[in-house]
Each structure stands twice: as structure tokens, then as C-alpha cells.
Amino acid sequence: MSHPKLKDFRRIVVKVGSSLLIDSAAGQVKENWLKALAADIAALHQDGKDVLVVSSGSIALGRSRLKLPAGTLKLEESQAAAAVGQIALARIWSEVLGTHGIGAGQILVTLQDTEERRRYLNARSTITKLLEWRAVPVINENDTVATNEIRYGDNDRLAARVATMTSSDLLILLSDIDGLYDAPPGANPNAKMIPIVEAVTADIEAMAGAAESELSRGGMRTKIEAAKIATSAGTHMLIASGKIEHPLRAIAEGGKCTWFLTPANPITARKRWIAGSLEPKGTLVIDAGAVNALYAGRSLLPAGVIRVDGVFARGDAVIVRGPDGHEIGRGLVAYDTENAEKIKGRSSSDAAQILGVSARTEMIHRDDLVVAGARGGDTGK
Ligand code: GLU
């Protein structure tokens, strides 16, 4: 079974673990590594993807800055360390993303923010607004106020909740290990890495063990928990090594990692995302022939478009309405308003001529289209 490609995804949560980010001996953030990661994030962002970062490191960074001795911290000590570390962490993210002209927005969440519906909706709308503004949300648990009983404690599960809350279609856990092994790789030289996990079964859970390092709270166990949260909500997940420079580029180039696949294929997950979590920027009114084509699972061609309303850019979500104004579906339009106006009602070959030979012929490609109550036409291809 093959896995999807990074380029297939529209909204990606990247979780960065403390041990990757912080050089505990030097008590500093690993700046060069972080700069390389920021360049990878900027490349995805430039590609039109929404990127969210879940960054650990507040406690680790705080403890280095405060020169606290090694060993386990009491709850109030880690809360206080997080207060010092988080302020530094936020500044660093803001700087490295700022170099690429990307605004970073700090979001600190507690368990209740993801579990209580009202707070959940509130956090979600703030994050969605940031994404709409093309900023990159940088999220962590609000460790200074989260107490033992009511905290995630690990950012693996937090990242999974953030991913499902924002209808992200991929969660990437960057870790100090490059994937899931069938036995602990340190102790067992014959341990094999598992490239694709199609379902988190009891066998898979048994492979997780319980490893934790001093810096990061989550071992493989919390990553498997994260996989359960993510994949049951239609989000794919992968675990990859963050120990190399440009870890996201490595994934895009097919580098080693473990994929946890959600049963919903990426198109379906993406379609759910198109249907549910975008503010449409305009409307295309289409003729009866096009309505039938859409119900049969085909793309929307320029010829079927009667009217173009609203102001949208290429890739924006629009509502598609029938000649009587009835909503047929929603999709990501392939042209901006001006070009859509120019080619509406024209044959695909006319459209290509009007806009230049390289123009794609669909107004909305079927993969980018969700037809409300489609009559069996959606094969998910
Ligand atoms: N929220 C914690 C921090 O920023 C990290 C938890 C984890 O390592 O997963 O320090």
C-alpha cells in the first residue's frame, strides 16, 4: 500500500519536540536547525498550504535560562519554568518565520479549550482567522496555568487535537526517532521500522513501549495516542526524524518515516475540509447541464458557468449554485474573479486561448469540489 504525498495536503500541523529545538547543554534554542525548519515551513506556506506549528520547549528552555539543576521538576516549578521559556520561545518563532515574511501568532491552549465546546469553537475561530490572514499559528499548552489533573502534559496528543479541531488533513510529529519500530531500536539491532500503519491495532500499541527522555514528555506511547485521535477524525499522521536539517523537505522528497493512515482517503478528508471549514468568497451560478455533470461526479467546466459573483482569488472557496439559485456544492475555484468572468460560458479550448495555452481547463476540478448530497457520483478518486 502506498502513502499519500506531502503535496496532496492542504492544511498541515507540524509538531516540534523539545529535544529537537533545545540544546540543553548550551541552554539555547538550536538556531540553525530552527532556521532550516522555518525555511521548510515557508516553502509549504508559499505553496498555498496552511501550516500550523505545535511547538514544545517552554519548560526545557525556561529551565536552561534559569539554570535549574537536572532532575524532575515539581508542578509549580515546571509552570514557572514555562513562564520564562514560553516568552523566549514565542520570540524565536516570530523571528525565524518573520525572516520569510510570515507572521507568527502565539496560541496557548489548555485541555478545556479543546474539550469544552464553547471554548473549542472560540480557539478554533481564532486559529482559522490567523490562517485566513496567512499567518502561522504557533501553539503550545498553556503550561503556566495547566495543572496536573487538567493538562495534556504532552504535545503529541495536544497536536492531534489541534489537527482535528482545525480539520487539518495531515499531522507531522517531528521527533528524535524516525518512525515506529517493531521493537525498541536502541536495545534491538534487528528492529524494523514500519513505514505504513493502516490501523492502530493492539499489536501496534504494544510496539510503543513507554520511552520518555528528560526533555520531552511524550514517548512513542503518546504518539500512538495521537495517531488514534488524528486518524479517527480523518487526519493522516506521520512520525519523522527532526534530527536532520530540513526535516520537512526530507519528507517531501520521500525520506524515511512512519505514516499512520486515516481510513478516509485524502481526497475525502480534503473534501470534508472544503465542505466544512472555509468561508466562501464568491458564487458561481451554473446551467442545468453543468448541474447534471456535477451530480455525475465530473468537474465544473467554464462552459457551464452562467454568472460569477463575489471577489475571489485562485484557490478560494466558492459556492456553486444551480440556475434556480439552489446550492449544488462548494469548491476551490481555479481562476480569480477577473479570469472567471472572461471565460464563463466559453468552451474549454476558447478558455485556453483567452487565458493562454497553459490555462487549466476546469473552473473547479472534481477533486476540489464537494457536491451537496451527490447522487452517487463521488468515487473519491
Ligand atoms: N508543553 C511542554 C513544553 O512546551 C512540552 C510538552 C511535551 O514535551 O510534549 O515544554
78 lines ligand 1 (CB under 6 A): no
Amino acid present at 201? T
**Least-confidence region, from 7-21, 23-37, 118-132:** 118-132
Strand pairing class (170-175; 28-29): unpaired
| CB contact at 8 A, 175 and 239 | yes
Q: Tell me whether the CATH fold assigned to 6-272 matches the one assigned to 280-371.
A: no
Tell whether the model's pLDDT for residue 377 goes beyond 50.
no
What is the predicted pLDDT for the residue at 31? 93
Ligand 1 atom having least distance to the Cα of 156? 9
Neighbours of 274 (CB within 10 A): 22
**Measuring from atom 5 of ligand 1, which residue has the nearest CA?**
56
Give 158 Cα–ligand 1 centroid separation in angstroms. Answer: 10
Average pLDDT of the chain? 87
Give 173 Cα–ligand 1 centroid separation in angstroms. Answer: 13
Tell whether the model's pLDDT for residue 373 goes beyond 70.
no
What is the predicted pLDDT for the residue at 15? 98
CA triplet 238, 240, 243: central angle to 5 degrees? 160
- Select 280-371's CATH number: 3.40.50.720, 3.40.605.10, 2.30.130.10, 1.10.645.10: 2.30.130.10
Q: Which of 19, 59, 156 to mutate to test the pocket of ligand 1 (most atoms within 8 A of CB)?
A: 59
Give 141 Cα–ligand 1 centroid separation in angstroms. Answer: 7
58 lines ligand 1 (CB under 6 A): yes
Average pLDDT for 21-36: 90
Render pLDDT for 327-339 as a digit per residue (tens, 0 to 9).
898 898 989 999 9
Ligand 1 atom having least distance to the Cα of 62? 10
Q: Which of 15, 21, 58 to mutate to test the pocket of ligand 1 (most atoms within 8 A of CB)?
A: 58
Tell whether the model's pLDDT for residue 55 goes beyond 90.
yes
What is the predicted pLDDT for the residue at 117? 66
**Least-confidence region, from 67-81, 178-192, 342-356:** 178-192
**Least-confidence region, from 8-22, 90-104, 173-187, 210-224:** 210-224
What is the predicted pLDDT for the residue at 374? 45
Give 100 Cα–ligand 1 centroid separation in angstroms. Answer: 26
% the chain with pLDDT above 70: 89
Dihedral sign computed on CA atoms, order 65, 69, 71, 72:
negative
CA 256 to chain centre: 19
Q: CA 101, CA 42: separation in Å to the nearest integer?
A: 9
Render pLDDT for 183-234 as a digit per residue (tens, 0 to 9).
877 778 888 999 999 988 888 888 876 444 434 445 788 999 899 888 877 8
**Measuring from atom 2 of ligand 1, which residue has the nearest CA?**
56
More confident site: 116 or 37: 37
216 lines ligand 1 (CB under 6 A): yes
110 lines ligand 1 (CB under 6 A): no
Render pLDDT for 116-171 as a digit per residue (tens, 0 to 9).
766 777 888 899 999 999 999 999 999 998 777 677 888 999 999 999 888 899 99
**What value does the CA radius of gyration of the chain take, rounded to a whole number of Å?**
23
Ligand 1 atom having least distance to the Cα of 59? 10
Alpha-carbon dihedral angle through residues 281, 14, 24, 256, given to the nearest 10 degrees: -150
| Residue boundaries of the structural domains of the chain | 6-272, 280-371
What is the pTM for the complete model shown?
Answer: 0.72
Q: CA 276, CA 264: separation in Å to the nearest integer?
A: 15
User: Which architecture does CATH list for 6-272?
Assistant: 3-Layer(aba) Sandwich (3.40)
